[in-house]
Amino acid sequence: MRAMILLLLGMVVGAAALSAVWATTRGTDGNVDVRIVVERLDDGRVEVGLQHREVSGAWSETEKPERRFLAPNAEAGLALYSSEIVVDTDSRHELVANSYGAYLVESGEDIADRFSEYFGEAAQEDLPKMLCIEDLNDPGIGQLCDGLGQGYGGTVERLAVSDYDEFRTQIETAVREDGDLGGDFATSVPIADIIDETMEENRT
C-alpha cells in the first residue's frame, strides 16, 4: 500500500507541475518573434539576415540566406527577395514535454533518496536491489525510472510491462526467489495493485 500511496502522490504533484509548465509556455506554439538584420558593407552593398527569439528570450545568431545582398545600383521600386530561411524553434508541446521529462527525472531522484535513506537505516549495509516497473499501457511517467536509477545508491533493475498476466508471473517469481530484491516501484496503479496482491499472497 505504501508504494501505491507514493505513486498516487507523485501523479498529483506531477499534474500540478505539468499545468505550471503549460502556463509558462503559453503563446509559444505557432508564434515566433523574428527581426530583420540590415548591414551596409564597405563595398556599398546592403546585407540582410534574420534572427528569431529563443525560448530563453535571447535573440539567435543571424541567419544569412544565400541571396541576401542589395547592390548599390539596385533599381528603385523593384522588390527583391532573399532565399528562404527555415526557423527551427521548439513548439509549446515540445517545451512542455522537455520540461515535464526533466521534472520526472528529478522526482525519480528524490524517490531514490527516500528509498536509500529507508533501506540504509533498516539494513545498515549495502542497499538492496530495486525493481522499477514501467507500465507501457499507461505511458507518460516512465522517466521516473530514469531518475530512480540515477539517484539510488544500489542496483535498479528496470522492467517494461505490457502484459499484466505475464508480469504477475514475473513478480511472483521475483518475490519468492530473488533474495537480493529489496523493493518495487511502479509507474501505474494497475502494476501497483498486482505488486500489492502478490506481496499479500506471499506475506512479504
DSSP string over 77-89: T----PPP-----
Residue type (1 letter), 44 = G
Tens of pLDDT along 91-143?
666 767 778 888 888 888 988 888 888 777 655 567 888 889 999 998 888 88
Tens of pLDDT along 132-187?
999 999 888 888 899 988 988 888 999 999 999 999 999 988 888 888 888 888 88
d(CA 104, CA 135): 15
d(CA 37, CA 105): 40
pTM for the model stands at: 0.54
Poorest-pLDDT segment among 10-19, 67-76, 171-180? 10-19
Poorest-pLDDT segment among 63-67, 68-72, 118-122, 184-188? 118-122
Residue 163: predicted pLDDT: 94
Residue 79: predicted pLDDT: 83
| Burial class for 163, CB neighbours closer than 10 Å (0-12, 13-18, 19+) | exposed
Q: What percent of the chain has pLDDT above 90?
A: 13
- Between the two ends of the chain, the Cα-to-Cα distance in Å is 12
